[in-house]
């Protein structure tokens, strides 16, 4: 029978490092998925994922069992990514600015990107301001509920819904004009 997350956490808190190793094994794919989707394949995914588990380890005593452990883990992963973005890119674009600078006309690399629509999509997601990217990734890729998004992002539901709405519009504005210009 598989040991529950709660049991593993209790064992960790009583000093069993092997229990934490089991938690890593259980959740490393989830953390990699979130970090890749939030930060892109930047070569930092492994380092950032390690940082996520180190933060989890340091703050395991503060975990509250009313939330799923996976949700708490995603929250920490999200914050690790946010911190990384701030170190990497000190000046973040406001969403309004981001919408203005996204050129609706096809760029010079459109033809090259024709066979790599998913690459375009990944790049477009990465270009979204982080406060819009996070709910998009967590809701549509990780399948989190609104209740979980509220916990992870620490924002009210109305703001999260509004950001999701705008994130989808921004994504479409970035990608669809390119497709329209492609030769048929």
Partner 1 sequence: MNCDAIENLIQRSLDHELPDALRRPLEAHLASCPACRALHGELAGLLASLGSMAIEEPLAGFEERVMEKIRREAGPRGEAASAAVVALYVSMGATALLLAAAVLLGDAGVPDLLASAWRGLLGFLGDAWVLQAGYDLLAGLVPGGILSIPDTAAAACGMTALAALLLGLRRLRAPELKYADH
Is position 132 an interface residue for partner 1 (rule: CB under 8 A)?
no
CA distance 41 to 10: 34
Least distance to partner 1 from the beta carbon of 18, Å?
A: 5
DSSP string, 103-160: -SS--TTHHHHTT-HHHHHHHHHHHS-HHHHHHHIIIIIS---HHHHHHHH---HHHH
Tokens of 171: 């994504």
Residue (50 or 71) nearer to partner 1, CB = 50
**Selection from 78, 3, 72 nearest residue 33 by Cα:** 78
Least distance to partner 1 from the beta carbon of 24, Å?
A: 4
Q: Do 138 and 64 meet the contact criterion of CB atoms below 8 Å apart?
A: no
Tokens of 118: 């998913």
Among 3, 6, 7, 57, contact with partner 1 (rule: CB under 8 A)? 57
Tokens of 83: 């911190």
Q: Do 149 and 160 meet the contact criterion of CB atoms below 8 Å apart?
A: yes
Among 2, 18, 66, 96, contact with partner 1 (rule: CB under 8 A)? 18
Is position 159 an interface residue for partner 1 (rule: CB under 8 A)?
no
Least distance to partner 1 from the beta carbon of 112, Å?
A: 18
Among 38, 53, 84, 178, contact with partner 1 (rule: CB under 8 A)? 53
CA distance 86 to 182: 35
Q: Which stretch binds partner 1 (CB under 8 A): 65-73, 74-82, 90-98, 169-177?
A: 169-177
Least distance to partner 1 from the beta carbon of 40, Å?
A: 10
Least distance to partner 1 from the beta carbon of 164, Å?
A: 7
- List of residues contacting partner 1 (CB under 8 A): 12-18, 20-21, 24-25, 28-29, 32-33, 36-37, 41, 45-46, 49-50, 53-54, 57-61, 117-118, 121-122, 125, 136-137, 139-141, 161, 164-165, 168, 171-172, 175-176
């Amino acid at each position: 029978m598989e040991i529950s997350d709660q049991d593993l956490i209790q064992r960790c808190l009583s000093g069993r490092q092997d229990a934490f190793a089991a938690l890593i094994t259980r959740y490393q794919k989830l953390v990699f998925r979130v970090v890749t989707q939030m930060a892109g394949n930047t070569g930092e995914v492994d380092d950032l994922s390690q940082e996520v588990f180190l933060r989890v380890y340091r703050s395991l005593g503060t975990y509250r069992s009313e939330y799923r452990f996976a949700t708490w883990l995603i929250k920490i992963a999200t914050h690790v990514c946010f911190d990384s973005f701030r170190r990497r890119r000190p000046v973040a674009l406001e969403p309004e600015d981001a919408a203005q600078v996204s050129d609706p006309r096809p760029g010079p690399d459109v033809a090259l990107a024709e066979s790599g629509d998913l690459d375009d999509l990944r790049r477009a997601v990465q270009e979204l301001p982080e406060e819009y990217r996070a709910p998009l990734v967590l809701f549509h890729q990780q399948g989190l509920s609104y209740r979980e998004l509220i916990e992870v992002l620490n924002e009210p539901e109305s703001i999260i819904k509004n950001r999701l709405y705008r994130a989808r519009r921004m994504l479409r504005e970035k990608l669809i004009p390119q497709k329209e210009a492609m030769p048929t």
